[in-house]
Structure 1
């Protein structure tokens, strides 16, 4: 299986790439109360989502700090939450402890698997082998409840595929001679370039959702009513209490950046700590990209470094979306 370190930059992406997302978990929430239960736990509004539809969302503690960010996918008989494996041990018990008085079953999903499909030929592959309508819809439930295909944001043409075990086995057998198989370090790099953050264990419980730009990605409902952490999140919006946001930084380093490492800015010939890395990646030529929480008033001309990586140098890169003002 190929790694991101074997790819010089994203422009060299092969025409068809399959990424088994082995470093990701699927969390299943089933039972007749699953929608009302999650409505009181997550930042998104699930009440209008139909089977096959999806949204980003966060699960927060009572202080409004994010345990995890998910892509929330509604199926006919359950709701699936995608997240990095490293955070599950911390996040899952926090969700399960609120379930005692609801008719829900919360566990790691075992019937479905998760893949990323990317490259200029990915749409043609899906149209031929799965469902031609899926390449046009934001998300699409496959016939026979075999899974769901979700079109992903910039960069490149790419799809998140959540499919049942039998179909996953068939997919791997069919595509192995047609596609380049990369581990999920490539998928992580694409998420960084798209400005979409997912929380690892090292950064769980540290930031409110607006610091991770979730309001700009339709991951927060400010009208649905109460949920865990809602008071802090609403205060950040209506009182302008949030002074930090998620930024993309790009540059060079001798090692791959890691979640939880410190970002410093050069001020008056001295380095000052100003932020935290949420996720990072390194291409084969030493080029790095990170998502970092920094002050909202950070200057686009500033020079940064990662405190834990000597000689690293990073610069501001524009997000592919606008950050809404609080």
Structure 2
């Protein structure tokens, strides 16, 4: 049984779990690495924050892939298949993760494959229970494609070949009137449910707890050693995590928001943290911020940009 699968995203769920429009998202900003071989599980158990042995054909997990200092190189969604594991991650970090994971293969019977051209990742919103879709966070179903429930609002990722995806997408559009959604909207919904995807500008900058990976059930504190484990465990047991993840909003503007931009206290001009990731949709720029929590929830925040753009927290992890 997976550790701590409590839904910590209830504070920012949609008022109605099925309130999202029925949409198909051909682009999600995510790519896929397949890890195969007899030692695939052993390799991943020694590198990722989640407990690989807890995964099954019906349960995936989010995880962090850390460096030796406990800083997250990339967040991953780990899905177990019949003969291998799928690592779903931001497209911007695929080459980096492949290169760094291959350093740990050595003589192990494990192979890493970039499956970008073979396996496609489809985003779906509004896939109601009539499709027999999984309902629990990170649960896996087959309808008939591999389907993973994302936290919070009623959204799923579907994995399949190009032909399988095209056939299923055609069915959704013709029979159930699903519309097409944009990448910006999908990323906006990811941020709204505090899924901590980020690009290379934020790689190796934060420990997993700062990204809320523990709140999403993606850190095992009992499975044993993995790269960065000492720092992650020490931060947990000694209560030394001084930053946390927040969902924030600011008006959409032509200048946009830069990932990694500093966030300041507008009164003291003190740096309070940074923008992890952001997406603009429907006139609103929504962002995930990694902010100091030493003196309670931060207020009166602005971005350290040319416009000193005000940014307001709307929810925290």
Normalising by the residue count of structure 1, what TM-score does the alignment of the two structures yield? 0.84
Deviations 1:204-224 (A, max 9, x none): 011111111111111100000
RMSD: 2.2
Q: CA deviation at 1:311?
A: 4.6
For the pair 1:313 / 2:314, whether they are aligned, the reply is: no
Q: Secondary structure at the match of 1:271?
A: coil
Contact 1:14 1:180 in 2 (8 A): no
**In 1, Cα distance between the equivalents of 2:26 and 2:295?**
36
Is 1:113 aligned to 2:92, yes or no?
no
Paired residues of 2:28 and 2:187 also in contact (CA < 8 A): no
1:18–1:116: 8 Å Cα contact kept in structure 2? yes
Q: Which runs of structure 2 are paired with 1:281-296 in the superposition (5 Å)?
A: 281-285=279-283, 287-296=284-293
Structure 2 length as normaliser, TM-score?
0.86
1:7 alignment counterpart: none
- Kindly indicate whether residue 3 of structure 2 is the aligned counterpart of residue 21 of structure 1: no
Shift of 1:309: 5.2
1:152 aligns with 2:158: no
Displacement of 1:265 in angstroms is 1.6
- Matching of residues 21-170 of structure 1 within 5 Å: 21=27, 23-109=29-115, 110-119=117-126, 122-123=127-128, 127-128=130-131, 132=132, 134-136=133-135, 138=137, 139-142=139-142, 147-154=145-152, 156-170=153-167
Relative to structure 1, the CA distance from residue 62 to residue 181 in structure 2 (aligned partners, 3 Å threshold; closer, same or farther) is: same
Cα deviation, residue 14, structure 1: 6.3
The answer to whether the 8 Å contact 1:44/1:219 transfers is yes
Deviation sequence 1:263-322 (CA, Å, 0-9, x none): 11222xx4222211111122332x221101100235546111221251521112123x5x
Gapped regions of structure 1 (runs ≥ 5): 1-9, 322-326
The 2-side partners of 1:307 and 1:15 are apart by: 35
Consecutive aligned runs of 4 or more in structure 1 exceeding 6 Å deviation: none
Whether the 8 Å contact between 2:22 and 2:125 is mirrored in structure 1 is yes
Segment of structure 1 superposing worse, 49-58 or 166-175: 166-175
Distance 1:265 1:28, change over 3 A: same
| Residues 123 and 135 in structure 1, CA contact (< 8 A), matched pair in contact too | no
* Contact 2:261–2:274 (Cα < 8 Å) also in 1: yes
SS at match of 2:271: strand
Question: What residue in structure 2 maps to residue 5 of structure 1?
Answer: none
Distance 1:15 1:59 in 2: 33
Task: Kindly indicate whether residue 168 of structure 2 is the aligned counterpart of residue 171 of structure 1.
Answer: yes
Quote the Cα distance in structure 2 between the aligned partners of 1:299 and 1:316. 13
Residues in 1 aligned to 2:136 and 2:193: alpha-carbon distance in whole angstroms = 19
Deviates more, 1:293-302 or 1:67-76: 293-302
C-alpha distance in 2, partners of 1:34/1:68? 18
Distance (Å, rounded) in 2 between the aligned partners of 1:193 and 1:22: 15
